[in-house]
Amino acid sequence: MTSSERVTESKKVWTTLITNTAYLSGLLTLDYSLKKHNSKYPLVALYTDAFPPEGHAALEARGIPKQRIEYLLPKNGGKDYSNDPRFYDCWSKLAPFSLIEYERVVQLDSDMLVLQNMDELMELELDAPEVAGKGQRVFAAGHACVCNPLKKKHYPADWVPENCAFTSQHNTPEVAQTTGPPPNTSPLGFMNGGLQVVNPSSGVYNAILDHLSSDAAINMDFADQSLLSDLFKNRWVPLPYIYNALKTLKWEGVHPQIWRDDKVKNIHYILAPKPWDEMDKEGNFISKDATHAWWVTHNQERLRGEKERGIKVDGF
């Protein structure tokens, strides 16, 4: 288990994993967006030993609390992710289940941007920690989109639109704004790990570690997402897409039928390039993806505010 000391007074926190500086601009703008939209709860950066000194300095300069976690990997080495190396880091996104010093943790990916207050996730009903993963509401998350719109050849062959939970909502787009399809809507029953609502629990975390140590880890195509979808099959609470609005859902040919710009509370900039990779030297928007402009606008606001507060320009 990880440290049992809170790094903030709040017993309910947002967390995000950071292992290097590639996502640091994303983390800083995520933190800014939570504060801009008046969240009552702090963002805690969960860092591993590989996180460099300049990253720590950037967090400290902005007053963002940080907490060390162990870098998680399957004991048998797990699947070869050479086609998608980002998944090696994703195992450590299971750490929030171990943070029993907090009552509620909502894990966010650092390539997310909060567009509306979503503090209600801190009150969402889940199984109590002592249920130890035996109940029907172990955690909450959004569905994965299994359409594979970029047609990545190393993705599973059954990742096709007809197996996607979001496809089931095309004829009921208004319902999609408030209700997630049941976990078993898709034959794959797959969640996306970008946002996870968790009641930390020693029992749940030990079950996760046991599964991580098993031979099953060799066949987990998507690291933490595969593990949670398999270990707690159909026993998680499905959130509507608005809390983990995968940017690809808006694309033509994916799920534009359900997407509503004004309903999205949290956009997830999955895949590459990231918004911070598509700016000119002055930090202006140059992407073809209109949703990237939302991130750039927030980032520019953040940088202006930091300048006014005298925070040293550090490139993040």
Task: Kindly report the CATH number assigned to the domain that includes residue 50.
Answer: 3.90.550.10
Query: Is 161 a residue whose pLDDT tops 90?
Result: yes
* pLDDT 10s digits, 227-270: 999 999 999 999 999 999 999 999 999 999 999 999 999 999 99
* pLDDT 10s digits, 104-127: 999 999 999 999 999 999 999 999
**pLDDT value of residue 83:** 76
Per the structure, the count of domains in the chain is: 1
Task: State the residue range of the domain holding 272.
Answer: 12-308
Q: How far apart are CA 141 and CA 2, in angstroms?
A: 23
Strand 104-108 relative to strand 191-198: parallel, antiparallel, unpaired?
Answer: antiparallel
* pLDDT 10s digits, 271-297: 999 999 999 999 999 999 999 999 999
Q: Is the peptide bond before 273 cis (omega within 30 degrees of 0)?
A: yes
Query: Is 3 a residue whose pLDDT tops 80?
Result: no
**pLDDT value of residue 85:** 72
Q: How many C-beta atoms lie closer than 10 Å to residue 101's C-beta?
A: 17
pLDDT exceeding 90 applies to what percent of the chain? 91
- 313 is a domain residue: no
- How would you class 266 by CB atoms within 10 Å of its CB: exposed for 0-12, middle for 13-18, buried for 19 or more? buried
**pLDDT value of residue 196:** 99
Query: Is 203 a residue whose pLDDT tops 70?
Result: yes
Query: Is 41 a residue whose pLDDT tops 70?
Result: yes
Q: Taking a C-beta distance cutoff of 8 angstroms, is the pair 254, 165 a contact? A: no
> If pLDDT is split at 50, 70 and 90, which confidence band does 84 have?
confident
**pLDDT value of residue 75:** 81
- 57 is a domain residue: yes
**pLDDT value of residue 243:** 99
Q: Taking a C-beta distance cutoff of 8 angstroms, is the pair 169, 175 a contact? A: yes
- 7 is a domain residue: no
* pLDDT 10s digits, 130-151: 999 999 999 999 999 999 999 9
**pLDDT value of residue 142:** 99
**pLDDT value of residue 216:** 81
Query: Is 2 a residue whose pLDDT tops 80?
Result: no
CA distances from 104 to 35, 42, 73 (A): 18, 12, 24
Q: How far apart are CA 228 and CA 249, in angstroms?
A: 22
Q: How far apart are CA 15 and CA 110, in angstroms?
A: 9
**pLDDT value of residue 112:** 99
pTM: 0.96
Q: How far apart are CA 182 and CA 189, in angstroms?
A: 9
Q: Taking a C-beta distance cutoff of 8 angstroms, is the pair 141, 120 a contact? A: no
Structural tokens at position 51:
């996180």
- 292 is a domain residue: yes
**pLDDT value of residue 87:** 76
Q: Which residue has the higher pLDDT, 214 or 175?
A: 175
